[in-house]
């Protein structure tokens, strides 16, 4: 599994990196939505509160064999609506994302 994480928060990026390392998977941290255009992977973890993240994540996720899991700050209704409109299928509160992150990174995980 090759994981991409679209996040700008350095502490949160470190947390994702540590969880990925513990799971034995590679993770590439991306800071800008435009970076997804050339990024290769099969799982994208995206901070949907970043400007431009929702359409970029949905576009990236339209490729075959790609999964996008988006998270937002404490159920930000506007960000959720924008992500759904853009086509992001899996959206959750950041707190829930943190809870299930180890399971998401486990190869073969259905979560």
> How far is it, in rounded angstroms, from Cα 52 to Cα 57?
9
Distance CA 31, CA 65 (A): 23
Contact by Cβ (8 Å): 57, 78:
no
67: Cβ contacts below 8 Å, ≥ 6 apart: 42, 43, 44, 61, 90
Residue with tokens 């928060």: 9
Q: Average pLDDT of 56-82?
A: 93
- pLDDT tens, position by position, 89-110: 999 999 999 999 999 998 777 6
Percent of the chain past pLDDT 70, that is, above it, reads 97
Domains present along the chain, CATH in parentheses: 2-104 (3.40.50.2300)
pLDDT digits (tens, 9 = 90+) for 9-46: 999 999 999 999 999 999 999 999 999 999 999 999 99
**Strand-pair partners of 26:** 2
């Amino acid at each position: 599994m090759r994981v991409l994480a679209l996040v700008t928060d350095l502490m949160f990026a470190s947390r994702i990196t540590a969880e990925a390392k513990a799971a034995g998977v590679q993770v590439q941290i991306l800071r800008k939505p435009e970076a997804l255009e050339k990024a290769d992977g099969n799982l994208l973890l995206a901070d949907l509160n970043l400007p431009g993240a929702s359409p970029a994540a949905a576009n990236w996720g339209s490729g075959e064999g790609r999964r996008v899991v988006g998270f937002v700050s404490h159920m930000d209704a506007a960000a959720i609506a924008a992500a759904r409109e853009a086509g992001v299928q899996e959206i959750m509160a950041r707190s829930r994302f943190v809870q299930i992150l180890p399971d998401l990174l486990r190869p073969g995980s259905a979560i």
